[in-house]
Every structure is written in structure tokens, then in C-alpha cells.
Amino acid sequence: LTSSTTGERLHVIHIAAEMAPVAKVGGLGDVVSGLSKALQKKGHLVEIVLPKYDCMRYDVVRDLKALDVPVESYFDGRLFKNKIWVGTVEGLPVYFIEPHHPSKFFWRGQFYGEQDDFKRFSFFSRAALELILQAGKKPDIIHCHDWQTAFVAPLYWDLYVPKGLNSARICFTCHNFEYQGTAPASDLASCGLDVYHLNRPDRMQDHSANDRVNPVKGAIVFSNIVTTVSPSYAQEVRTAEGGQGLHAVLHSHSKKFAGILNGIDTEAWNPATDPFLKVQYNSNDIEGKAENKEALRRHLGMSSASIRQPLVACITRLVPQKGVHLIRHAIYRTLELGGQFVLLGSSPREFEDIANYFKSHEHARLILKYDESLSHLIYAASDMFIIPSIFEPCGLTQMIAMRYGSIPIARKTGGLNDSVFDVDDDTIPVQYRNGFTFLTSDEQAFNNALERAFHHYKNDADGWKQLVEKDMSIDFSWDSSSALYEELYAKSVARARAANRT
Ligand code: ADP
């Protein structure tokens, strides 16, 4: 145990739709478990409430058992029983809610993407609060995430404080403002919220229409603490251009709004112990990187003629947010510059043509699937890593790449702007410079960064080695980020206590 920075042991309950590795779709899952583990290590009591999905990974839950007493929760004018399961996931206590509702809300073979997602997750948000109330828990902080559990904030103040669950402050984290879960205002009534009272411009009404509600907006209005996943993204979403319609409400609630950069799981992502690598290595001995490069090239059937030929990589979901036009362009430009390129990309449709084109190319390979183990080898094998996102709330791949000694080439946006600093930028203190950046999302700007990276790599082997060693030593663990959450929690709890005394 490390000690809590604020000296007080807090009871924190996360209510979320994802938690890695038991139920993970994206970054949200990583944050819930990464932040929880770090807070637990600091001595806080952390619990997590999740839906009990049929498709989650039961093999990573220890001691899963059902509680004797079901929890009844309200939905659509009736009470429904929920079977409550408890288990341990990577040392964290987790409650799983299994609704006995005829629609079998979490028995659908997938986490999201059902036409009744709004219903399923508003049901879950209410059932989770009901569980906390009926179990007699008195948390200091209830932390909800993204639109799926944003309902928790208005439900708590409007329905659960009157029932006596009033110990908590509410923290809401938005991991990507692109997803807001808007729906017809009348849908809000299912979970017992008062449509008339909430469908107002200063509460949950969406900016697009006066008969639609927006759960993310509701959580911004009704939470005590609102965070997003990097300081730069927190600035961007306050502007009309980046706010996805929520800039005005974020502006008026800016006092409680902060951006905290995510960490990465430094145990899962550790080149010194990574079982997926051909050879393990560390920042004091990076020889192993070359062997991994050789192994990847052989595995993918690419040319291994020159170990000094730079290998550029990209691992991503291939969605517009990630700058797909620049990823496509990067493949051709890398080859023109004499490098090799490997892309591991999911949601691939539009890349199938060029993947075929490069099928037996000596110097490029496009692998269009999700492949966890291959991703580890690619991080280890590559010399450079591109992240040309149009917007990026935080981004994890630049941090993972650095931990494996692959130098990031990133667009200056969101969390990339807070974690990648240009080697050639004299305005940045030398010790922070760790990669190559560009500002605008056009080919010319990207070329400039890529060409500078190639220049350094080819003309200054010693300097490059030092850069690799330096990037591998940067601390991207949750230790420092979790301390910032801890501080926000503690301040909010202290304010509530002070207010109760007066
Ligand atoms: P996002 O959450 O928007 O997808 P992040 O950069 O926050 O982007 O997180 C991406 C995570 O998913 C990283 O851990 C990355 O290694 C992994 N990943 C993305 N695409 C793939 C893929 N095709 N195969 C394996 N892992 C992938």
C-alpha cells in the first residue's frame, strides 16, 4: 500500500458499462480498472457495479457468487427483481446486476449497439443505485462514466437523496463527447425521472431539438465533479468547434470541470515481462528490440534485408476520428522514404482494397482485424508509431508505443498534445521532448513530421537510441493521474461536509 495523498480513506463506487478485462470494448474499460486499482493501492475502498453481460469474460472473475436477496428496482411503472452477483476482478470487488426483465437487457451477445440501449442502461443506472441503497452502503463518491451511466447523476439527486442515500458526491467522467446517447424526452420516464422537470434547456434538453434529452448533458448539470480524459481535450470541448453541442453547458459548469490524462496499465504493458514478445527487453538494454523487429518481419513475410530500415507502425480502430486519410497516406510516404509499414486496424472495410494491394509487398503489411497478441509484438518491433487523429480525447497507443521504445509521430490534439512533445521544438524543455508532432491534419504537415523522424533515425543513431531509452523510462502509470482524481474527490467531500455544518 502507498498512502493516500489526502490522508483520508474514501469509499468510491464506480457505476460503469465496462471494466477491463471482464467487459471491455475500449478505453473506458481500461480507465475503470486502472483508476480503481491505483486508488485501492492508495488505501481507499473501491467497488465497481457492472451489468452482468452474457458475453463478458467469466474466466477473469474469481469467486463469483449470487447474493441471497434480490434487489427490486423500478422500470416502466413496475418493480423488477435483479439477481446480484459478487466476484473479484484483478483484486477489485465487483457487483454484477442481472435484471429479471423480460427484455433480457444484458443477454444479447454484445455490450452495445442494441436498439434499446437507452432503456437498457437507464435501467442499469437505476438498479445500481437501488443496490447501493438496499445494501446500506454509504459511499463518499459515486463515479459514473459516459452516457450509459450518466443517468446516475439526476437519479441520485431527484430520487435517491430523498430515499436517504445521501452520503455521496457524484463524479462523472466523459471519455468521448462524440457519444451522448440522446433520445426522445419521453424515454426518460422509464427509469422514473421526471420528464417535465428535466426536459429544460438548463437541465437535460438536447441542443438539437426541444423534445430530445441528452444524458451526458444531464450528468454535467447534476454532478459535483465532471472530468474528461486529458487537459487539452477539456479545453477543446469548451469551444463551439470541439464541443459536439455541449460547449455552452460545459462553459457554464466550468468550475467543476477538469481534464485528467489517463494512465496505462504498466503491468500489462511491460516490455521487460511481456510474454507475447520474441525477446523481452528494458530501457537499460534495448538490444531485444531488434530481435522483435526481425521476428515480426519474418512472421508477416516482409523483407529482413536491413535491420536499420525504419519500421513504422499504426494500431487503431479505423474510424474517421483516427485520421484514416493520413494513415493511408502514411503507408505510401513511408515506402517512398525507404521505410517499412505495418498497420493493425479494426473496422476495416475501406482498407480492404489496399490491404490486398500490399498482400505480398516486401515492405508493407496491413492486417485488418483486432489482435491483442500481435499488437504487443508490433509495439515492440516498430521504430516509429503514427497517431494522426482528427481528435483524440486521450489516446493510449502513443503511451504504449513509448513504453516499448517506438517513437510517436502524432497530431497535436487532445491527449496527444498533452503526452507527445516535439524533439525539434525549442520552446519545450529538453527533458520533455519525446516524439514528433504536427498541427494541421493535411498531408504536408504529416510529411514534415515523418521526414524529420526519418532524418533523425538515419543520421543520428546514438541520438535515436537515447530517445528510445528516454521514452521507455517515462512514467505513464496511473499513480500520478489517480492522485489528481483523489484530490478532486477529497475536495468535493470536504466542501459537502463544510456545507452540512453551516
Ligand atoms: P480508442 O479507445 O479510441 O480505440 P485508444 O488509443 O484510447 O483508442 O485505445 C486503443 C487501445 O486498443 C490500445 O490498447 C490499442 O493497442 C488497442 N487496439 C486498437 N486497435 C487494435 C487492433 N486492431 N488490434 C489490437 N489492439 C487494438
Distance 397 CA to ligand 1 centre (A): 7
Distance 410 CA to ligand 1 centre (A): 15
| pLDDT tens-digit profile, the chain (502 residues) | 455 555 789 999 999 999 999 999 888 999 999 999 999 999 999 999 999 999 999 999 999 999 999 999 999 999 999 999 999 999 999 999 999 999 999 999 999 999 999 999 999 999 999 999 999 999 999 999 999 999 999 999 999 999 999 999 999 999 999 999 999 999 999 999 999 999 999 999 999 999 999 999 999 999 999 999 999 999 999 999 999 999 999 999 999 999 999 999 898 899 999 999 999 999 999 999 999 999 999 999 999 989 999 999 999 999 899 999 999 999 999 999 999 999 999 877 778 888 888 999 999 999 999 898 999 999 999 999 999 999 999 999 999 999 999 999 999 999 999 999 999 999 999 999 999 999 999 999 999 999 999 999 999 999 999 999 999 999 999 999 999 999 999 999 999 999 888 7
Residue 349 in any domain: the answer is yes
Domain that holds residue 372: 287-476
Number of structural domains, the chain?
2
Residue 393 in any domain: the answer is yes
Same domain? For 232 and 353 the reply is: no
Same domain? For 318 and 236 the reply is: no
Q: How far apart are CA 110 and CA 56, in angstroms?
A: 9
Among candidates 343, 362, 378, 358, which has minimal Cα distance to 302?
A: 362
Q: At what angle do helices 478-501 and 27-41 cross, to 10 degrees?
A: 70
Same domain? For 329 and 411 the reply is: yes
Same domain? For 484 and 443 the reply is: no
Q: Which of 318, 375, 398 to mutate to test the pocket of ligand 1 (most atoms within 8 A of CB)?
A: 375
Same domain? For 154 and 239 the reply is: yes
Phi-psi region of 245 (alpha: psi -120 to 50; beta: other; left: phi over 0): left
Residue 273 in any domain: the answer is no
Same domain? For 224 and 140 the reply is: yes
- Cβ atoms of 260 and 484 within 8 Å: the answer is yes
Residues in the chain: 502
ipTM exceeding the 0.85 mark: yes
Protein residue whose Cα sits closest to atom 19 of ligand 1: 316
Same domain? For 258 and 300 the reply is: no
- Does 378 contact ligand 1 (Cβ within 6 A)? no
- Cβ atoms of 310 and 383 within 8 Å: the answer is yes
CATH number assigned to the domain comprising residue 21: 3.40.50.2000
- Unique residue bearing C-alpha cell 500489462: 268
Same domain? For 48 and 159 the reply is: yes
Same domain? For 170 and 127 the reply is: yes
- Does 316 contact ligand 1 (Cβ within 6 A)? yes
Protein residue whose Cα sits closest to atom 17 of ligand 1: 316
Q: How far apart are CA 343 and CA 300, in angstroms?
A: 11
The maximal CA–CA distance of the chain, rounded, in angstroms, is 75
Residue 272 in any domain: the answer is no
Residue type, 287: E
Protein residue whose Cα sits closest to atom 26 of ligand 1: 372
- Does 375 contact ligand 1 (Cβ within 6 A)? yes
Q: Is the dihedral of CA 439, 444, 450, 454 positive or negative?
A: negative
The CA R_g of the chain, rounded to the nearest whole Å, is: 24
- Does 347 contact ligand 1 (Cβ within 6 A)? no
- Does 353 contact ligand 1 (Cβ within 6 A)? no
